[in-house]
Amino acid sequence: MTVLRLFQMHGKVAVVTGASSGLGVAAAQALAEAGANVALGARRADRLADTGKLVEAAGRRALAVQTDVRRPEECKRLIDQTIATLGRVDILVNNAGVGSAVPASLETPEEFQSVLEINLEGCYWMAQAAARVMRAGSSIVNVSSVLGIVTAGLPQAAYVASKAGLLGLTRDLAATRWHPASSPPR
């Protein structure tokens, strides 16, 4: 068995957030090249179309849904449209994220909260929406950062806090027994 065969995704459906630029585009393209159909979510709808063309150039189906992961209802809409159009969700790549480079003494509460809402809370809302429809053996990949565990000595308090929080959230979600099609515990 070859390494490439181990990573075949034929018949799978992936959802990638932050799919309008950077790592999100690369993840979507790689998943498509491995054989997955890909649902794309991001705030910039015009750039999602470009990513969709890359997925389709790999011979796969693409679905572009403008999504702001800060809003749980938009996360659910992305998953619902994926099910309606592509039939299932096997993989979620939580990649949507923003950075900040503001000294902690100068960062406003709104700036700090905005980073947490996208980088941490958005991953939670997407994981919650996806896990409700995923079958056993499905995967959720949360994209964090080495800055979640070490410091670079840069003024990035909100970013670092969000990525460290995401690592903790990932550990907890990995240990959680999800119950598809049911409400999360309150």
pTM: 0.91
Class of domain 3-175 as given by CATH:
alpha beta
The values of phi and psi at residue 96, to 5°, are -55, 135
Selection from 26, 147, 14 nearest residue 93 by Cα: 14
Q: What is the pLDDT averaged over residues 32-45? A: 97
Sheet holding 139-142, edge to edge: 62-66, 37-42, 13-17, 91-94, 139-142
Q: What's the pLDDT at 27?
A: 97
Residue spans per domain, the chain: 3-175
pLDDT at 127 over 50: yes
pLDDT at 182 over 60: no
Q: How far is CA 179 from CA 10, 127, 149, in A?
A: 26, 12, 30
Q: What's the pLDDT at 184?
A: 46
The model's confidence at residue 180, banded by pLDDT at 50, 70 and 90, is low
Give the span between the Cα atoms of 33 and 50, in whole angstroms.
16
pLDDT digits (tens, 9 = 90+) for 69-90: 999 999 999 999 999 999 999 9
Q: What's the pLDDT at 42?
A: 98
pLDDT at 181 over 70: no
Q: What is the pLDDT averaged over residues 109-123? A: 97
Q: What is the pLDDT averaged over residues 123-131? A: 97
Q: What's the pLDDT at 178?
A: 63
Among all residues, which ones are annotated catalytic?
159
Q: What is the pLDDT averaged over residues 95-109? A: 93
Specify the pairing of strand 37-42 against strand 13-17.
parallel
Residue type, 119: N
The model's confidence at residue 37, banded by pLDDT at 50, 70 and 90, is very high
In the chain, pLDDT over 90 holds for what percent of residues? Answer: 78
Q: What average pLDDT does the chain have?
A: 92
Q: Are 60 and 37 in contact, with CB atoms under 8 Å apart?
A: yes
Contacts of 100 (CB under 8 A, 6+ apart): 107, 111, 112, 115, 156, 157, 158, 159
Q: What is the pLDDT averaged over residues 2-13? A: 86
Q: What is the pLDDT averaged over residues 146-151? A: 76
